[in-house]
Amino acid sequence: MKTYQLNGTIYYCPVDLTLSVIGGRWQGLVIYSLREKAKRFNEIKRELVTINDKMLSQTLKKLVEQEILNRKSYNEIPPKVEYSLTEKGKKLLPIFTQMEKWGKEAVL
């Protein structure tokens, strides 16, 4: 049986694997918020409105581990840290384009 692997977890279905990356509401929205450019923690937080610091930290950490996001810290005072999509992360964007399209048309 063909299997797919991400960070040591084995999936039997490629869609299941992808859902593990974008499926959680916050993970999906954080990726989407970085579609155009790198952003700092507080910029992402402002955009996602109802997310709290703990949830955002956890979400960013997981996405960095999954190699979806880069975390770049600049040697400045005050310290500056930016998050951006990796090449692998950018390849998720066609999924978001389709999600955006469906969400706009779905209105009941």
Whether 48 and 33 have beta carbons less than 8 Å apart is answered as yes
CB of 31 to a second copy, least distance (A): 9
Is beta strand 4-6 parallel, antiparallel or unpaired with respect to 9-11? Answer: antiparallel
Of 29 and 69, which has the nearer Cβ to a second copy? 29
Check binding of 46 to a second copy (CB under 8 A). no
CB of 86 to a second copy, least distance (A): 11
Site size toward a second copy, by CB under 8 A = 41
Check binding of 18 to a second copy (CB under 8 A). yes
Integer Cα distance of 18 and 49 in angstroms: 25
The β-bridge partners of 6 are 9
Check binding of 90 to a second copy (CB under 8 A). no
Is beta strand 4-6 parallel, antiparallel or unpaired with respect to 80-85? Answer: unpaired
In the region spanning residues 47 to 86, those forming contacts with a second copy, defined by CB under 8 A, are: 49, 67
Long-range contacts of 70-78 (CB under 8 A, 24+ apart): 70/38, 72/38
Query: Interface with a second copy by CB under 8 A: which residues?
Result: 4-7, 11-25, 28-29, 32, 49, 67, 88, 91-92, 94-96, 98-108
